[in-house]
Structure 1
Amino acid sequence: MFRMFRYFYGLVITILVLLFSIQLLTQDVPNKYERSINSPFISDSENNEDLITSTTQVIATKTMKPTTKRRTTKTKKFDKMTLPFWNLTFEEVATNYQQNFHKTSLTDAQLLLSNITEFESLVSEACDQHFTDPEDKNDCVLDYTMQRRQRILRESCSILYNNTKLPRYSYFDYYVLQARKLVWCPVFKAASSNWMENIVMMSAEPRYKIEMYRKEKRYDQPNTLARKIAPLLGESRYNTFIKNQPKPVTFIIVRDPIDRLISAYRDKLEKHMPYYYKTYGSKIVTKYRKEGLKRFGEAYYKANRSSGYLNPPPNRGGNEPTFWEFVRYVMDGGTRNEHWRPTNQLCSLCSKLVDFDIIIKFENLEQEESYFVRRLGLDTFIPKRWINPTKDLKTTHQEQREMYLSVLNEYELCRITKIYEKDYRLLGYEPPTPDGLNFKC
């Protein structure tokens, strides 16, 4: 009997608690402020709450009836106060480029002329017919040049893959400024540090937030700060964004593969950099130094602190790898690091989804970069700067290149060029090998 009483007593208590909870849930509770999906401005950062404050406040005051008198807040407009660096809207960036871009009147055959001199002559004649101002003529010539590079890339992709399945694009390598309709794929050792900073400058992030990020140790490198400003979208969101109209402007800066390889060696391994020495340099020396001593002799390694370079960097101790040792490492499959990984692997050059509007060549960087920002209407907002240069005023670029390549025999030069064969074919660079891309190695 006592057990039955306890059972019914517990059941009654449980029912009463449930009824009380249901009553509480059905009461009117003021809703929290939420971000509107129809917000007129898209933030580049998921945490950029300041850019959407005004929108959420307007929505909240229209949809909610506060029980107490609330202090009114003056709504911000999306103008120079919110966008401290420049005031073009995200529609204007894309459409400005599309409207100004001069469509070519040349045929596909003329665009793909192997004789670059003949192509330049045709382009100059075509642009002279439309423009008299020197700057307009220059932009017209570069419009044609960009279309030529697009055509070379498309044609080479179809030849290389010949109707086979094209490689997937690696969306996680791209930097996307949603608010500016811009997509950039960085090629390291091709003005990437410069453009990491430009991405920050072009973002819609308020200045005070950017300065706060700069003070944090985790954002003290250009790439980490740029990734904070332009976070990964994820594949689904990226696919939607890239297909939206007006179409985002996609661009890439490329460089001659061998020049890029030399630059990577000079910047990361020729001088002593603790991280790169520990991760790559020490292992390269362990594996290839004995063979190098047999080939070049002890005198070569003693001279210029083992560099083989006429002007070795002052912080080179002598245990760092030589250029020949580095090339041997790359020949044996050491291409994983992004600073010397082939460009086609970094940026999925043949993907169907990504069609680069602008392909800037590092060799003509100043002129083509200026043209690019002018075409988008950004020329008054992006300052000219040069971050992380590897310069040597004592020797010309051609002298440096010949000096480094002089340590390679014909077979090694052939092998290293073959590793970057797709880059040469897709980007229209002239290979350093005597037989071009007809490899005999």
Structure 2
Amino acid sequence: MSWRESGKKGLIILVVACIVCLVSIHTNRYELSGPSVRKVIHQAQSYLWKAGNVIHSSQSYWELVNVTEELPTRDDNLSPGHYRSDPADVYNDQINTEKDTNTNLNNTTEKDTNTNLNNTTGKDTNTNINNTKEKDTNTNLNNTTEKTANEHNETNSKKKKKQAKQNKKAQGKEKKKKMRYRDYQYQRDHFNELNWTQAMSDKVQKELNKRAEGVEAGCSSLEVQRAPKPNVMYVERHLVHVKEKKFMWCPVHKAASTTWAKNLLRLVGDTNTINNYQGNARKHFPPPQTSRDMHHVPKDTTWLLIVRHPLQRLLSAYRDKMLRERKSRDRFVQMQKQIVTAYQDPNQTTTTTTTTNNTLNANTSHVPTFTQFLLKVKDDVESVWTGRKRPINQHWSPYWLLCAPCQLHYHLIAHVETFTRDQEYLIHRFHMEDQAVNIHSHASNFDSYEGTDEATQHYFSQVPKELLNQIIQLYLPDFILFDYSPDEYLKLLPSVQSSTNEH
């Protein structure tokens, strides 16, 4: 086969290969993904490689050298425009053709090499991409795992904080419950059973009426007349009006007010109250709201007042409000600190045995002595006498100021000293036999003294005589109105103190 035929055949194969490539590309133009492109390239490469082999096999060097034997002779009749080349020119043409073929082969080889390199590079790139994807996937998985672990730890931390908060809240509730129980235990109810008779009722009624008459007579005395006038409107808002039983009561703190308030709460079935008995009783039995309402109170309403010895009431207020263990934010704790800071006990500079409170309170750093407490009381009540109108706590506010006995007419005056008998009379008088009981609520002891007489002896023996006389003068209207004497308390003062003051 001549080289021309071989060249034609190779050219045809090249053309066919190109057409196949174009058709393949055209057919896959909408699906030129990675695998499709590589398939088309491999097909083109296969066709081009076959064409190159045919060309190379049909155009060997020796065939090109011996090509002169087949060349036709020179025809002199050819026109200059159809000049035929001599053998040397044919040889040169063959050499150039071979060069071109070799060049094409080299180019094809380079292309194939480049294609292979590109394929290899593509594979490597794909491998790198896959590796990168795997790394990214692993990184994402690791990040996701770490994120999940962090979220899990954060969730556990939140749960722990929530649990700790719940535990703290539960502890607070338990502590509050204990405080409420302690407040409940603070009141010790002593039940009294009396075989009441009509004769006893008549006797007590006469005595209570006589006390009321003594109040009326005392209001006209000069000492009481000199006392500042109370705010009657304030007193009226402080009352408890039991309309169903037709009586009006003026509660006095530290004078059986808790005992009587409990009985009033029993009238309405309120047995859940464990503190602030007077306030809850006032909610159930509100007083007249206006002066007009006060004028419309029925004429047959009985007015009731319960009192006790003024000095004994002060001691009861001290033991309850100054020695009783309380919460740190309690208003009386703040008052205790103020008293300790503002008032100096003169006995503290002389001896330590007379200043001890024998208190059961665990924290005694801010607990004032009884003398310091009386100095505070003296300044409070003295401010009323001097017109400064300093606020006075209801637990030691005088009777003449708290209930206005000279402005409001009280029909029954009961005493704490005889309250077992007096209360039994009141229960029958107001027809409360089915609801009320004859009890007496005692405050728990916040010092080492069980009996009242022993505590009275201890605390009043520490008070300077001058201070005690000042207290008596400030509370003198109460002594006069309710027929109490300070003599028994003056006798408790040490003889050394009395003789010193006389000189």
Sort the TM-score into its range (normalised by shorter chain): 0.5 to 0.7
Determine the structure 1 residue equivalent to 2:219.
Answer: 157
Specify whether residues 199 and 238 from structure 1 end up closer, same or farther in structure 2 by C-alpha distance, changes over 3 A only.
farther
Determine if contact 1:166/1:350 at 8 Å carries over to the other structure.
no
Partner amino acid, structure 1, of 2:205:
D
Q: What is the TM-score normalised by the length of structure 1?
A: 0.58
Identity across the alignment (%) = 24
Contact 1:185 1:347 in 2 (8 A): yes
Give the Å deviation of 1:153.
Answer: 0.3
Give CA deviations for 1:300-343 in whole Å, capped at 9, x if unaligned. 48xxxxx623x422444332111111011112226700001111
Query: Does 1:427 pair with 2:461?
Result: no
Quote the offset at 1:137 in angstroms. Answer: 2.4
User: Could you say what secondary structure the match of 2:212 adopts?
Assistant: helix
> For residues 173 and 293 of structure 1, do their structure 2 counterparts lie closer, same or farther at Cα, with a shift above 3 Å needed?
same
- Bigger Cα displacement from structure 2, 403-412 vs 330-339: 330-339
- Number of residues of Structure 1 aligned to a counterpart in Structure 2: 283
Q: Does the 8 Å contact 2:218/2:480 carry over to 1?
A: yes
Q: Does 1:347 align with 2:403?
A: yes
Provide the residue aligned with 1:251 in structure 2: 304
Question: Residues 137-176 of structure 1: matches in 2 within 5 Å?
Answer: 137-160=199-222, 167=230, 169=232, 170-176=235-241
Distance 1:163 1:403 in 2: 33
Within 2, Cα distance between the matches of 1:198 and 1:248? 19
Deviation at 1:379, TM superposition (A): 2.5
Give the Cα separation in 1 of the matches to 2:325 and 2:206: 43
Whether the aligned pair in 2 keeps the contact of 1:175 and 1:184 (CA below 8 Å) is yes
Q: Is residue 413 of structure 1 aligned with residue 468 of structure 2? A: yes
Map 1:125-136 onto structure 2 (within 5 A). Answer: 135-136=197-198
C-alpha separation in 2, matches of 1:164 and 1:190: 22
1:28-427 map, 5 Å: 135-160=197-222, 167=230, 169=232, 170-203=235-268, 207=269, 210=270, 214=272, 221-242=276-297, 244-245=298-299, 247-274=300-327, 275-289=330-344, 293-294=348-349, 296-297=350-351, 299-300=352-353, 308-309=356-357, 311-333=358-380, 336-351=392-407, 354-387=408-441, 389-391=443-445, 395-427=450-482
TM-score (norm 2): 0.51
Residue 258 of structure 2 aligns with an amino acid whose one-letter code is: S
Question: SS at the partner of 2:414?
Answer: strand
The one-letter code sitting in structure 2 at the alignment partner of 1:343 is: Y
In structure 1, list runs of 5 or more residues that go unmatched.
1-132, 302-306
Q: Which amino acid aligns with 1:156?
A: G
Q: CA deviation at 1:359?
A: 0.8
Does the Cα contact within 8 Å between 1:269 and 1:276 map onto a contact in 2?
no
- 1:31 corresponding residue in structure 2: none
Task: Evaluate the alpha carbon distance shift between residue 137 and residue 180 of structure 1 in structure 2; reply closer, same or farther with a 3 A threshold.
Answer: closer
Aligned residues: CA RMSD: 3.2
**Aligned in 2, Cα 1:290/1:413: closer, same or farther, shift over 3 Å?**
closer
If you compute each CA radius of gyration, which structure gives the higher value, 1 or 2? 2
Structure 2 unaligned regions, length at least 5:
1-194, 382-390, 492-500
CA-CA distance at 1:196 after TM superposition: 1.9
Residue 403 of structure 1 and its aligned partner are, at CA, apart by 1.2
In 1, the alpha carbon distance for the partners of 2:485 and 2:243 equals 36
Distance 1:419 1:162, change over 3 A: closer
**How far apart, CA to CA, are the structure 2 residues paired with 1:290 and 1:359?**
36
Shift of 1:226: 1.5
Q: 1:229 corresponds to which letter in structure 2?
A: H
Task: Report SS of the residue matched to 2:219.
Answer: helix
Larger helix proportion of the pair: 2
| Residue identity opposite 1:308 in structure 2 | T
Deviation at 1:271, TM superposition (A): 2.7
User: Is the contact between residue 152 and residue 427 of structure 1 (CA under 8 Å) also seen in structure 2?
Assistant: yes
